[in-house]
């Protein structure tokens, strides 16, 4: 159930970040002049750790995006309902968390569809975002996503907290606070078995970034800044 950052490096595909970023097929971050940051949480939901994180987000008026695993959505539908009710966004993170570059296309489609169904059954909502397990992708996965109406979302390379490795609260805190830039997509996990480090780190990170003037937005909100930037470039260049 873990996201290895190594899988997300350009070697995972014959076409690199620049190619997919320019085409708008995959999003790593959204450079903007606005002081906004998108926190993302993978591998949940969990009735305990996700609920605690939701409480904290509420306390700091923070919106975030949860990339949920379908078989856990079936287990904890009420947590996914709560995520949406409290203004967060829910994205598809596969049904059973296999590496998508190692499975056939039929299995891939099943994983995508079963998770869409699980989210829909739990909430009546249809997800428009997908994050592949481990961040692994290739051309075929990108195309399947597009066909399924899903936009692939990865994360800022300087905001990979590695919280799933339980590196210690300080390391998670420092990673985010030292690297914080407008338009970042921060990678965290709301379910890491036996760890509260993500939660403890957020208790420090959220008030500090708020103090610095940042607001915390969902991925769809962040993407609206991408459109603004694009329009600005078109008008001014
Ligand atoms: Zn994951």
**Residues whose CB is less than 8 angstroms from the CB of residue 144 and which lie 6 or more positions away in sequence, other chains included:** 105, 108, 109, 112
Q: Which positions are catalytic? A: 42, 189
pLDDT reading at 1 higher than 60: no
pLDDT value of position 12: 47
Distance 48 CA to ligand 1 centre (A): 18
pLDDT reading at 7 higher than 60: no
pLDDT value of position 59: 98
More confident residue, 234 or 183: 183
Distance 60 CA to ligand 1 centre (A): 25
Q: Which domains does the chain have, with CATH numbers?
A: 30-236 (3.20.20.370)
pLDDT tens readout for residues 147-172: 999 999 999 999 999 999 999 999 99
Distance 203 CA to ligand 1 centre (A): 22
pLDDT reading at 62 higher than 60: yes
pLDDT reading at 209 higher than 80: yes
Contact predicate 94/110, CB 8 Å:
no
Distance 129 CA to ligand 1 centre (A): 14
% pLDDT > 70, the chain: 90
Please give, one letter per residue, the 3-state secondary structure of 36-97: EEEEEEECCCCCCHHHHHHHHHHHCCCCEEEEECHHHHHHCHHHHHHHHHCCCEEEECCCCC
pLDDT band at 32 (very low <50, low <70, confident <90, very high): very high
Distance 135 CA to ligand 1 centre (A): 8
């Amino acid at each position: 159930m873990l996201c290895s950052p190594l899988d997300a490096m350009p070697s995972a595909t014959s076409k690199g970040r620049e190619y997919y970023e320019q085409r708008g097929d995959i999003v790593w971050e959204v450079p903007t002049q606005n002081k906004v940051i998108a926190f993302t949480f993978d591998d949940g939901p969990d009735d305990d750790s996700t609920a605690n994180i939701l409480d904290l987000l509420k306390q700091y008026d923070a919106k975030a995006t949860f990339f949920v695993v379908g078989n856990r959505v079936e287990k904890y539908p009420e947590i996914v309902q709560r995520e949406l009710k409290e203004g967060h966004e829910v994205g598809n993170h596969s049904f059973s968390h296999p590496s998508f570059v190692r499975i056939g296309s039929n299995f891939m489609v099943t994983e995508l569809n079963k998770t869409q169904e699980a989210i829909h059954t739990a909430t009546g909502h249809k997800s428009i975002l997908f994050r592949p397990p481990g961040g692994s992708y290739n051309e075929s996965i990108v195309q399947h996503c597009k066909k399924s109406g899903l936009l692939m979302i990865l994360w800022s390379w300087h905001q990979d907290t590695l919280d799933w490795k339980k590196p210690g609260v300080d390391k998670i805190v420092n990673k985010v606070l030292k690297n914080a830039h407008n338009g970042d997509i921060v990678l965290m996990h709301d379910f890491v078995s036996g760890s509260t480090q993500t939660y403890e780190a957020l208790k420090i990170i959220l008030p500090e970034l708020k103090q610095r003037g940042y607001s915390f937005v969902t991925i769809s909100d962040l993407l609206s800044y991408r459109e603004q930037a694009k329009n600005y470039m078109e008008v001014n260049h």
